[in-house]
């Protein structure tokens, strides 16, 4: 099972771009990379998913280099409401392992 490594915490200010990098050296050929966001006392919420190169949706972008051993979640112009824990997961639907995630704090 692919294990992921993320920074434990990050700080940012409103209006800045935030990039959270996840390392997954043992990613398998068929594995996708998925990011979730979790607010206190709520279930995680799907943000974005990708396999290679770049994926963008209305809330974030995901950058995946050619070797797929890492990925970077990019949050443009964060606001206070983006303060949350962000999880990077690698794998299929039946072998998803959640690490401790990255605790992002956005300051005014």
Partner 1 sequence: DGGITQSPKYLFRKEGQNVTLSCEQNLNHDAMYWYRQDPGQGLRLIYYSQIVNDFQKGDIAEGYSVSREKKESFPLTVTSAQKNPTAFYLCASSRGQGNSPLHFGNGTRLTVT
Judged by the rule CB under 8 A, the positions of this chain that interact with partner 1 are: 30, 32, 34, 36, 41-46, 49, 51, 87, 92-94, 96-101
Q: How far is the CB of 100 from partner 1 (least distance, A)?
A: 5
Q: How far is the CB of 70 from partner 1 (least distance, A)?
A: 18
E strands, the chain, in order: 9-13, 18-23, 32-38, 45-50, 53-56, 61-64, 70-75, 84-91, 102-107
Could you identify the residue written with the tokens 């996840």?
A: 22
State which residue, 75 or 85, has the beta carbon closest to partner 1: 85
Contacts of 40 (CB under 8 A, 6+ apart): none
Q: How far is the CB of 49 from partner 1 (least distance, A)?
A: 6
Three-class DSSP category at 97:
coil
State which residue, 9 or 16, has the beta carbon closest to partner 1: 9
């Amino acid at each position: 099972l692919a294990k992921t490594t993320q920074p434990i915490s990050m700080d940012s200010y409103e209006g800045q771009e935030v990039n959270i990098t996840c390392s997954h050296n043992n990613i398998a050929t068929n594995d996708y990379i998925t990011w979730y966001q979790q607010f206190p006392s709520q279930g995680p919420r799907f943000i974005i998913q990708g396999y290679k190169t770049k994926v963008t949706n209305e809330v974030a972008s995901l950058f995946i280099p050619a070797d797929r051993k890492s990925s970077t979640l990019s949050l443009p112009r964060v606001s206070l409401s983006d303060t949350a824990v962000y999880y990077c997961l690698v794998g299929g639907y039946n072998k998803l392992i959640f690490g401790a995630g990255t605790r992002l704090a956005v300051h005014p």
